[in-house]
């Protein structure tokens, strides 16, 4: 059967779990989180979340040997950097200094990790610089996550930033294309740009699907909480209300701006493979507005996962974590 790893992606709205073996992704599970469990990207109570993870795994009969989790961007810094060629030991010593503009506590309070993406050579073809993707997270964050999973009865093997999760997926498909993954989430929309399997940059738009609830509530004179269930089920075709349409338009313009900015800064990179993931990818009129505004086709996220019968819109990031 082989070892099974579960990847966990705890979002603002739902818990996504992907079970992965050496052969690939087996299944993806999504369970809506209790109201208020995550605020501004942070887990409010690690104990309560640990219990929720435990219940979800039990209820959905999810079995695996070890686990990987995605750390939210607010709790983990991820950046690309070029540094002179050096040994692993030297890199370990130097990484904290590379993060000095990002971290707020003492450098000893953080864990650092890195992956060398490539070695850049000088005019004489001698190795000159390392192109590195590096991450830093507070040791206390890692220990909070470890104890949360311990409470759920799960051994946490690794915790990674979402960018690294996508790198893992792109490293597997090895198509060498430039990909832009647009995660249409609950309270924000994030864009992640990749050149082959190299992470280039990201951009965040600070509103997401939940912004539609206010518009639907006002248009239909209902409670925003009820509006959320109307939105998900497209009750009374509410996703096509003119009030929602204008939010799709604004979002599409912001996405277009971010894509243009990236193209302007990276004229050599042909950003043609655009993928929509996250619950917002299920909103057909939003998808259409994005496609019309960007004037490029939007590919199915399954291209990145290389599996059939798995809901890639939800499980993509979780699957990439499990592949770490």
Closer CB to ligand ATP, residue 136 or residue 181?
Answer: 181
Q: Does 279 bind ligand ATP (CB under 6 A)?
A: yes
Provide the minimum distance between the beta carbon of 168 and ligand ATP in the complex, in angstroms, as a whole number: 18
d(CA 220, CA 203): 33
Q: Which two tokens stand for residue 55?
A: 């219940």
Distant-in-sequence, close-in-space partners of 195: CB < 8 Å, separation ≥ 6: 178, 266, 269
Residue found under tokens 């070890």 = 66
Q: Does 280 bind ligand ATP (CB under 6 A)?
A: yes
Q: Which two tokens stand for residue 57?
A: 């795994």
Exactly one of 204, 282, 296, 298 binds ligand ATP (CB under 6 A); which one?
282
Query: Which residue in 75, 40, 23, 18 sits closest to 321, CA to CA?
Result: 18
The alpha-helical segments, DSSP class H, found in 40-109 are 46-59, 88-98
Binding mask 159-198 toward ligand ATP (x if CB under 6 A, else -) reads ------------------------x-xxxx----------
Q: Does 11 bind Mg ion (CB under 5 A)?
A: yes
Q: Does 185 bind Mg ion (CB under 5 A)?
A: yes
**CB atoms closer than 10 angstroms to residue 225:** 10
Provide the minimum distance between the beta carbon of 170 and ligand ATP in the complex, in angstroms, as a whole number: 19
Residues across the chain: 324
Region binding ligand ATP by CB under 6 A among candidate stretches 78-86, 246-254, 279-287, 288-296: 279-287
**Residues 63-92, interacting with ligand ATP (CB under 6 A):** none
- Please give the residue ranges that form the binding site for ligand ATP (CB under 6 A): 11-14, 183, 185-188, 208-210, 231-232, 278-280, 282-283, 314
């Amino acid at each position: 059967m082989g070892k099974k790893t579960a990847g966990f992606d705890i979002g603002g709205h739902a818990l996504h779990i992907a079970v992965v073996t050496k052969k690939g992704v087996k299944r993806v599970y999504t369970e809506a989180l209790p109201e208020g469990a995550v605020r501004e990207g942070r887990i409010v109570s690690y104990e309560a979340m640990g219990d929720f993870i435990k219940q979800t795994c039990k209820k959905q009969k999810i079995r695996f040997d070890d686990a990987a989790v995605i750390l939210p961007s607010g709790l983990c810094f991820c950046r690309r950097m070029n540094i002179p060629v050096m040994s692993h030991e030297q890199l370990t010593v130097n990484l904290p200094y590379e993060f000095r503009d990002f971290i707020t506590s003492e450098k000893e309070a953080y864990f650092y990790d890195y992956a060398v993406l490539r070695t850049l050579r000088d005019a004489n073809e001698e190795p000159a610089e390392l192109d590195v993707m590096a991450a830093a997270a507070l040791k206390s964050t890692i220990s909070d996550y470890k104890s949360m999973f311990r409470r759920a009865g799960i051994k946490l093997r690794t915790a990674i930033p979402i960018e690294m999760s996508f790198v893992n997926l792109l490293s597997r498909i090895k198509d060498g294309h430039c990909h832009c993954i647009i995660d249409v989430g609950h309270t924000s929309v994030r864009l992640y740009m990749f050149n082959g399997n190299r992470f280039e940059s990201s951009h965040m738009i600070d509103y997401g699907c939940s912004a539609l609830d206010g518009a639907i509530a006002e248009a239909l004179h209902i409670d925003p909480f009820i509006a959320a269930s109307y939105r998900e089920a497209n009750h009374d075709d509410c996703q096509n209300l003119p009030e929602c349409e204008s939010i799709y338009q604004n979002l599409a313009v912001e996405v277009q701006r971010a894509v243009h900015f990236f193209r302007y800064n990276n004229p050599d990179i042909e950003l043609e493979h655009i993928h929509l993931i996250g619950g917002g990818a299920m909103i057909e009129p939003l998808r259409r507005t994005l496609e019309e505004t960007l004037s490029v086709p939007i590919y199915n996220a399954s291209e990145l996962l290389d599996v059939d019968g798995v809901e890639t819109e939800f499980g993509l990031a979780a699957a990439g974590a499990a592949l770490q």
